[in-house]
Amino acid sequence: MKIKELSILPYPGRAFLARNRKDFVKAHALLFKRAANIYETTDGICAWQADDEGYSYLLWGDDRDTLSHELSHLILDVFQRIGIDPREANGEPFCYMLSHLLNQVEKNYGKRS
């Protein structure tokens, strides 16, 4: 099973990226003790749950477009929890966080098509 932890600092919580759907399913069983909140499509998933660390997120996306979509769910959920309007400052906090996460994905897994 291949999953990597992504830093969502300076925001609270933990985020993990699965390489594929099979690894997502295995990691989901290990990370989450009960059914998690989930957004799912045929080519991507974002799941999250409150835990001892605050909140944990688990994502998978088949390609860069889908992964960007799933990462956006993560960012919007974090922002809602801490009271940040994603439109604040012309969306700069959201845009910087998305770039930060995509750079980590490329570092861990290489460029995605």
pLDDT digits (tens, 9 = 90+) for 21-50: 889 888 888 888 776 666 666 788 888 887
* pLDDT category of residue 72 using cuts at 50, 70 and 90: very high
* pLDDT category of residue 83 using cuts at 50, 70 and 90: very high
Burial class (CB in 10 A: 0-12, 13-18, 19+), 59: buried
Which domain range does residue 37 map to?
3-109
For the entire predicted model, the pTM comes to 0.85
Give the count of domains, the chain. 1
Q: Rounded to an integer, what distance in angstroms lies between the CA atom of residue 13 and that of residue 47?
A: 13
